[in-house]
Amino acid sequence: MRKNALVIGTGVAIAAALVLGIVWLAFDSSSISVSAPPMADEPSGEPAMGIASENHGASREDARLEANAFNTPTGRAALAAHAERQRFEKALRDFLAGSETLPPAERARISAELDAQVEAEELAQRMSADEARMLRLALIERGSHDATERLRRSEALADAYRRESERRQRAFEQQQATDPAFVAYKAREAQIVAEVSAMRAIPGGISRDEYLRRRLQAERERAYAANPGG
């Protein structure tokens, strides 16, 4: 219930801010200039190419388009997602830093809530498995007074991560073994190595090693062009 209220409140605040900003567009204001930091070792010779999507010489029309973009479902979702991420990080940091001041029941509750959020962030690939595992171990450590229980849960968690990693690794190796581009390349790789090893002279005035490297790269380019999904 509290969470729903917070979400609604946040939405209202963002909407109000956007309206204020769009109204403000009617007024001119003095220019703001933000410079890119200098390069310590400025490359000499050719000038660097232009900035692709930073706000270079943006027009008033561009600004209106941007304002509209913030007022779309995508724009609102991006802002809300960013705000939510900031809130999550702060809640996690605060708990890890100050959990010992909380009553045991409160510690256990918050620990469980944060654990679920960490897991969700991991599933969304916003956290690596290693980072998530370390955090979840820390949450177990902070969330329970019972040393035996902590050890049991920690070992279970570590074991679950190990099994999941092994499963993913096996799946990758199975996929690679049937990847048509990789299979095609590997079949040619050994042939090319044998062929180059047997050559009496290497064309192009390059070393045998470099010639072999180029031949194999060309073969990979061929294999993956012929099997673009590989």
Partner 1 sequence: MAYSNARRPVALAVVFGLAFAAPAAPALAEEGDYAAWQTALNLLFPPGPDNPVRASQKTGPYPLLPDPSSFNDGFNPGSYYTWQTIRTSPSTGAVCGNGSPYKFFVNRVPHTRNTIIYMEGGGACWDYASCTGQTGVRGARNPNGIPDDYMSLANPGASLVSPFVTRINPLDTAKTQNWNMVYIPYCTGDVYSGDRVATYADPSGQRPPLVWHHNGLRNTRAVVAWLKNNLPRPTQMLSTGCSAGGTGSLTGYATLRRDLAPTRGFLINDSGPIFPTPQFGDSAQFPSVRLHAQIRDVWGLDAGPLAFIKAAAPAFDLGDLGSIYPALSSRFPNDRMGHTHFWQDQNYSSYSYERFYPEIAGAPAAQKPALITAKWSQDTARLRASLDGLGNVGGYFPQFRALNESHCTTVVDFNNGDVQERRLELDDFIHSVLDGSGAVLDASEASDIADRAKPLNPLYALINLIL
User: Is residue 187 classed as helix, strand or coil in its secondary structure?
Assistant: helix
Single out the residue of 4, 5, 41, 204 in contact with partner 1 (rule: CB under 8 A).
41
Does residue 79 interact with partner 1 by CB under 8 A? yes
Query: What is the Cα–Cα distance from 44 to 27, expressed in whole angstroms?
Result: 42
Buried b (16+ CB within 10 A) or exposed e, 155-191: eebeeebeeeeeeeeeeeeeeeeebebbebbeebeee
Residues numbered 2 to 21 that lie near partner 1 (CB under 8 A) are 9-10, 13-21
Single out the residue of 101, 125, 148, 178 in contact with partner 1 (rule: CB under 8 A).
125
User: In the structure encoding, which two tokens stand for residue 37, read together?
Assistant: 């930091």
Nearest to 188 by CA among 218, 228, 229: 218
User: How many Cα neighbours within 13 Å face the side chain of 6?
Assistant: 7
Q: Which residue's entry shows tokens 């005035």?
A: 205
Nearer to partner 1, 109 or 174 (CB): 174
The site that binds partner 1 (CB under 8 A) totals a number of residues, namely 114
Residues numbered 176 to 195 that lie near partner 1 (CB under 8 A) are 176, 182, 185-186, 189-190, 193
Q: Which residue's entry shows tokens 């180029």?
A: 214
Residue type, 230: G
Q: Which residues contact 176 (CB under 8 A, 6 or more apart)?
A: 182
- Closest contact distance (angstroms) between CB of 106 and partner 1 is 18
Residues numbered 139 to 158 that lie near partner 1 (CB under 8 A) are 141, 154-155, 158
Does residue 112 interact with partner 1 by CB under 8 A? no
Single out the residue of 152, 164, 180, 226 in contact with partner 1 (rule: CB under 8 A).
164
Single out the residue of 48, 105, 198, 201 in contact with partner 1 (rule: CB under 8 A).
48
Does residue 174 interact with partner 1 by CB under 8 A? no
- Closest contact distance (angstroms) between CB of 37 and partner 1 is 5
